[in-house]
Amino acid sequence: MYVELTKLIKTLGKELRLNAGRLSDIGETKKWLTKKDLEIEKRLTKYITSLPGKHTVYAEELSNSFEQEENVWIIDPISYTFHFLHGIPHYAIVIGHMHTGKMEFGCVYDPSVDELFSAKKSKGAYLNGKRIHVDESDSDIAIMYDPHTRSRKKLKLDLLSDLMNIGRVTMLGSTAVHYCSVACGRVQAAVALNHDVFPEFASKLIIEEAGGIFTDTDGGQLLLKTKGIIASNKMLYEKILSVTSKYGINTT
């Protein structure tokens, strides 16, 4: 099942790369939506619903109402459509499989650099088939930060300033790619002020299977309503948490 799904994701991703920067924004009720977002979600849903057993899809565009079932698939068809629309790396296809309430599989594919991150519960995390681990160092620190939108500008700028006191702060694009950059040891932490959690469930499993920690910005568990995320190695986590928890992002 996961092998076939991964093949499909890579096929969809390669098609996506060929269309990067060439499509128009068709969003009406939301900005930054393309026909590829819809197509990818439909094709993944078609595959998932063909599987034996009871399956439901929770996805950003067409199935954005969470329904608890034995098997729930959480999909972000294009994580960071803005970059895809403008032909800028890094965007991603993200999918996670939740079985009886627990994450069993996660996959993040960044077609712009042909990198596929994946994890199975208790089986480790991988990048293009090779085992990955977080970087446990607490020196020469780099932190990915995604403030997402221009709302709550003062809070986001204040948080940025605090993070800059810990290490170098940078940004690539897709938050899923940020989290996977932690998982494979390129950076030590990622902080995001997210507006939904479609990229987060798969990314959480990848981070944890790579030896890292993934919580909300107050140290709590990932929920559907979570609005702030920390993904970190174990050495740096408490220091990041001491900063983000001051803002009470998930407690207000």
**What does the pLDDT look like over 4-61, one tens digit per residue?**
999 999 999 999 999 988 887 766 556 778 889 999 999 999 999 999 999 999 998 7
Q: Residue 251 pairs with which residues in a beta bridge?
A: none
Give residue-wise pLDDT tens across range 49-101. 999 999 999 998 788 788 888 999 999 999 999 999 999 999 999 999 999 99
DSSP-derived 3-state class of residue 231 = strand
Q: What is the structure's pLDDT at 252?
A: 62
| Confidence at 149, pLDDT banded by 50, 70, 90 | low
- Judge whether residue 187 has pLDDT over 60: yes
Calpha distance 119→231 (Å, rounded):
16
pLDDT of residue 29: 54
- Say whether domain 142-243 belongs to CATH 3.40.190.80: yes
Question: What's residue 39's pLDDT?
Answer: 93
State the pLDDT at residue 137. Answer: 84
Cα 76 to Cα 13: distance, rounded to the nearest angstrom: 12
- How many whole angstroms separate alpha carbon 27 and alpha carbon 119? 32
Report field, pTM of the whole predicted structure over 0.85: yes
Q: Is the pLDDT of residue 154 over 70?
A: yes
pLDDT digits (tens, 9 = 90+) for 192-243: 999 899 999 999 999 999 999 999 999 999 999 999 999 999 999 999 999 9
Q: State whether residue 169 is helix, strand or coil.
A: strand
Domain definitions of the chain by residue range? 2-132, 142-243
Which CATH number is 2-132's, of 3.40.50.300, 3.90.380.10, 3.30.460.10, 3.30.540.10?
3.30.540.10
**pLDDT at 181 > cutoff 90:** yes
How high is the pLDDT of residue 221? 96
